[in-house]
Amino acid sequence: MLVVLTTLVATLLIQLGYFMWKVSADGQPQIGSAPALVVAKALVTDWRWMLGFASTSVGWVLFVQATALGDISLVQPLMSAGDLLLVVLAVVFLNERMVRVEWAGVLLTVLGAVALAMEAEGSQVTAFDGMRLAVLLGVTLLLGAALLLANRRSRQPEVLLALVVGLCFGAGSILTKALTVASAGPGQSIMTWAVLLNPLLLAVVLANVAGLALLQAAFQRGRASVVVPLQLAMANAITVLAGVVVFAEHITLLRGFGIVLIVVGTTLLQFKPASVAPLPVGPNG
């Protein structure tokens, strides 16, 4: 149960950070158009973005600890439960309306999270297949590059960007699990020199930094309640695949059912008729 609690706290903090980034995104120079230094200065001087960064950073540390406590094929999908917090915040504070299919997505995501919580157990992974890890990451990189190229002609740029964000964060999650397996061991603390000095840590940071930059770009181009569910669905898919192929994790029927519910639920959250617009903002906010 410790892995479940650690994961839920991690995802709540990360989603709170995402929300703060979405709130600050509209007033920021657009990533990809403005000079990088201008964008960086605008971000670090915006207290909302910095608060989001702090919340996300603490959540990420807890996520790393969760990967040491449990299987990555359990932890990553369970992280999607925090997506519900972002949806609620987007509806309440960003005036984004939800339709029935999106509420169905919320219900399926909750049921999936409950199924995964019932399946929670300590991680038994003590090694991984380095060659398979390299191949999977290579395919992920190529797919991400292809999606970015296709995004130049897309009428919904936030959709493809969200998928690339999911690939980045999924790769980061996979590398994080590899890092904890190689340096910390099942259930051990991540705050060790072995973890901090492992070269995999740099790869983890690069994957997550790329994901954060693209996430900010996606937020500037679309709704938070579309971007985050899509990236989570992609991150879940690639991470579960790695759990089986790279880390030889056993996917039970209950875990598989929970994963499917979460992936379907978070995917449903993106479907909204074009006629449904955000609620008008009143004179007081």
* Dist. CA 218–CA 154, nearest whole Å: 13
**Quick one: which of 9, 72, 32 has its CA closest to 204?**
72
Position 30 pLDDT exceeds 80: no
* Dist. CA 124–CA 69, nearest whole Å: 9
Residue 66, beta-bridge partner list = none
* Dist. CA 11–CA 77, nearest whole Å: 10
Position 31 pLDDT exceeds 80: no
Looking at every residue in the chain, the average pLDDT score rounds to: 80
Residue 31, beta-bridge partner list = 34
pTM of structure: 0.72
Q: Highest mean pLDDT range out of 1-10, 50-59, 246-255? A: 50-59
Residue 216 — φ and ψ, nearest 5°? Answer: -60, -40
Residue 101's pLDDT is what?
81
Question: Tokens at residue 230, please?
Answer: 């899509």
**Angle 157-183/47-69 helices, nearest 10 degrees?**
50
Position 54 pLDDT exceeds 90: yes
What is 212-263 written as a DSSP string?
Answer: HHHHHHHHHHS-HHHHHHHHHHHHHHHHHHHHHHTS-----HHHHHHHHHHH
Distances (CA, A) of 37 to 29, 30, 198: 10, 12, 30
Q: Which residue has tokens 């493809």?
A: 160
Q: What 3-state DSSP class applies to 184?
A: coil
- Residue ranges of domains in the chain: 2-268
Which has the higher per-residue pLDDT, 97 or 181?
181
